[in-house]
Every structure is written in structure tokens, then in C-alpha cells.
Amino acid sequence: MAGRSQALRRLQAYASLALDAFLLRRDRPYLFILVINDACNLDCFYCASKNTGRYELDYASVRSALSEAHDRGHRALVITGGEPMLWRSGGAALADVVSQARGIGFLDIAVFTNGTFPLDADGATLIVTIDGTRDAHNALRAGTYDLILDHVRRARSKVLASITISKANERELEDAVRAIAGTRLFEGITFNLLTQSPDMVSRHGLCGQERVRVLDRLWRLKGQGYPIILSRAAYRALRANDWRRPVKQIELFAGGHLFQCCRDVGRPEICLECGYSSCAEISQALEGRPSAVLQLLRAK
């Protein structure tokens, strides 16, 4: 009965969002991204925000940010870091934040994590970074591949895999997707194209036709039945790089500041080469593209 009530509330929330977005053309908030900390036990080359000390939130600030976001209309939440599993404030841990968010009224909650700690944030979808094949991932992420899979096996919540695609792992993309799917531990595979400063992207990321080719490869994998989370509309938008951004319905809270879409919103040289697939997906859903709407509704 509780599950049915939750599903009904979710359907009502999305119907209200659709009314605002499609008929009334209101830019109503949809997705709230909470950067809860920046402490991290890994040292990934493409991450510019780890261990700076600028983004650590105490529990009172977390509760306030969640409550204010819900009041503005947000019903979907992503918690990220740093590594959120490391977050502590007094006696509170990440599981308390998820419980708090559910109590406030958030309907869809996800946590981005590197998977190197027990995945005990029940009540949230866990998005775990797997950066390629075992060898590629271990080279990029301190030999943590098998540890992560062990934690995913023990998880009680829905788990997705996430690949950040760069020059370091794109050659083995097909092998990585097959290996991840072959574990039968993940309910889907999402991805981002390396998004960073122009210098970082030129050295380590994918540009121009390289970007197009890797998106085509992902689309072929999806067509072969692999669980790539990518709608036709988002694939086309990412491929043409013509989707509207920043996405006004996304807000990100970090270091006491509220940003529209992401922290790079004031840096067009980064925004114009955005590779965050979820942002493209949401933008296409809010423009009423049927495949993207269906993809959004399938997410829980």
C-alpha cells in the first residue's frame, strides 16, 4: 500500500510538472542537486572539486537547503560530493539525509558515490562510478573495481553504473559496457562525457567528431540490448550539441551558493561543451520529447 501511495504521489507530481512545462510554459524547478561535501578518498584526475574544504555542509544547513528546495517546487534530488558516504555531521550520516529528504517530500532521490564504502543509504537510487573495464577503472581509480562490485552485491537499493568517458577509457567502451552488464548487479548504465575546463577537455576529453563517434557507439550498444540510459531525443541532442542550456529547472547548491544547472553556469566555454547526459535528458523531457519523457518516467 505504501508503494502504491508513493507511485501515485510521483505520478501527480509529474503531471503537475508537465502542466507547468508544456501548457503554462513556466520554468518550475524539478531537480535539486545537493553537494553535501568535497571530502574524497580517491584522486581522480578529472575532478577539480575534491578535498578543497569549500563544500562541507553541516546537518542544519542540509536540512535548510532541502526544505527550501522543496518549497520552491523540487521533487527530485541528487546528493553528491566529494564522496557523500564520507559525510558526517554530529551523529548524522548520509542515511539520515536520505530519510530527511523523504520525510520532507522528495519523491526521487539518488546518490552519486564512488562505491568504495558500504552502500547503506537505503531509500535512494545509488549511482556508482565504474570508469571502464576492470583494468581501465583500476588505473583511473586506485584499484577499486572488485571492492566496488562487492559493495554493489550487498546493496539493498537500486544501483546504476556511471561511466565518465575520456580518452583514458573510450577505446574499451564496448568491453566496459559488456562487463558491467554481465555482472547483472546494475539496473542500468548511465554516462557523462568528460566536462571540465577547455584545456582539460582538449588533453583528456572528447571533442568534435570524437564526441559524435562515441555517442554513436553508445547508441549502437543500446540498440543491441545493453541497458544504456539514453533516450533517442537525448542522443540526438547530445550528438548535435544543440540542446538548450543552462536547464532552468535544475538547481545546484554548493558551498552556500545556489546555481542554476551547475557550478559552471557562468563559464560558457564549459557550458557549451557540456557532456552531462542527465542534463540533456531532462532538457529534452521538459521540451516534451516523447522518448525523453518515457525515460524520465521510468527513472525511480
> Could you confirm whether domain 26-39+50-298 is CATH 3.40.640.10?
no
Q: What is the DSSP string of the chain?
A: -HHHHHHHHHHHHHHHHHIIIIIS------EEEEE-----S---TT-SSTT-SSS---HHHHHHHHHHHHHHT--EEEEESS-GGG-EETTEEHHHHHHHHHHHT-SEEEEEE-S-S----TTSEEEEE--SSHHHHHHHTTT-HHHHHHHHHH--S-EEEEEEE-TTTGGGHHHHHHHHHHHT--S-EEEEE--S-HHHHHHHS--HHHHHHHHHHHHHHHHTT--B---HHHHHHHHHT----S-TTEEEEETTEEEESSTTTT-HHHHTT--BHHHHHHHHHHTT-HHHHHHHHH--
Q: Give pLDDT tens digits for 261-294.
A: 998 988 999 999 999 999 999 999 888 899 998 8
Q: Give pLDDT tens digits for 41-78.
A: 999 988 877 888 889 999 999 999 999 999 999 999 99
Name the least confident of 4-13, 152-161, 236-245.
4-13
* pLDDT score recorded for residue 2: 47
Rg of the chain over all Cα atoms, to the nearest angstrom: 18
Q: How many CA atoms lie within 13 A of 269 on its CB side?
A: 7
Q: How confident is the model at residue 225 (pLDDT cuts 50, 70, 90)?
A: very high
Q: Give pLDDT tens digits for 181-220.
A: 999 999 999 999 999 999 999 999 999 999 999 999 999 9
Q: Give pLDDT tens digits for 232-244.
A: 999 999 999 999 9
With a pLDDT cut of 70, the percent of the chain lying above it is: 90
Question: Has residue 10 got a pLDDT over 90?
Answer: no
With a pLDDT cut of 90, the percent of the chain lying above it is: 79
Question: Has residue 228 got a pLDDT over 90?
Answer: yes
* pLDDT score recorded for residue 176: 98
* pLDDT score recorded for residue 24: 40
